[in-house]
């Protein structure tokens, strides 16, 4: 499963979308297909299932859909907006009040 980070706030529609990184104050703009990929990543338990649904929705090959879904997931993860759910949480470390 894929998750948005704690301070990432999405605005997703079928017409596109954006994700606000509250930490930096920057918006990441999404095309309609990228917004659809993010919605599928958030709603499906695996990237494989998201890719299959993406392929059905856009009438493309499963291989191309897998590449597209993986690209979106890796890009948003690299920007610090998302994480695979099996990745360690950054919230497990020391807090400032300790």
| Model confidence pLDDT, tens digit, residues 48-88 | 999 999 999 999 999 999 999 999 999 999 999 998 866 55
Cα within 13 Å of Cα(39), Cβ side: 18
For 4-53, the pLDDT digits (tens) are 998 999 998 878 999 999 989 999 999 999 999 999 999 999 999 999 99
What secondary structure does DSSP assign to the chain, as a single string?
Answer: -EEE-TTEEEEEETTEEEEEETTTTEEEEE-HHHHHHHHHHHHSSSHHHHHHHHHHHHT--HHHHHHHHHHHHHHHHHTTSEEETTSPPGGGS--TT-
């Amino acid at each position: 499963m894929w998750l948005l980070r704690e301070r990432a706030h999405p605005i997703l529609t079928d017409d596109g979308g954006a994700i606000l990184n509250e930490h930096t104050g920057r918006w990441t703009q999404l095309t309609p297909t990228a917004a659809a990929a993010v919605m599928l990543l958030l709603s499906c338990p695996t990237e494989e299932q998201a890719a299959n649904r993406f392929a059905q929705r856009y009438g493309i090959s499963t291989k191309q859909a897998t590449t597209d879904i993986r690209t979106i997931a890796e890009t948003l993860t690299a920007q610090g907006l998302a994480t695979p759910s099996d990745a360690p949480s950054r919230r497990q470390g020391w807090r400032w009040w300790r």
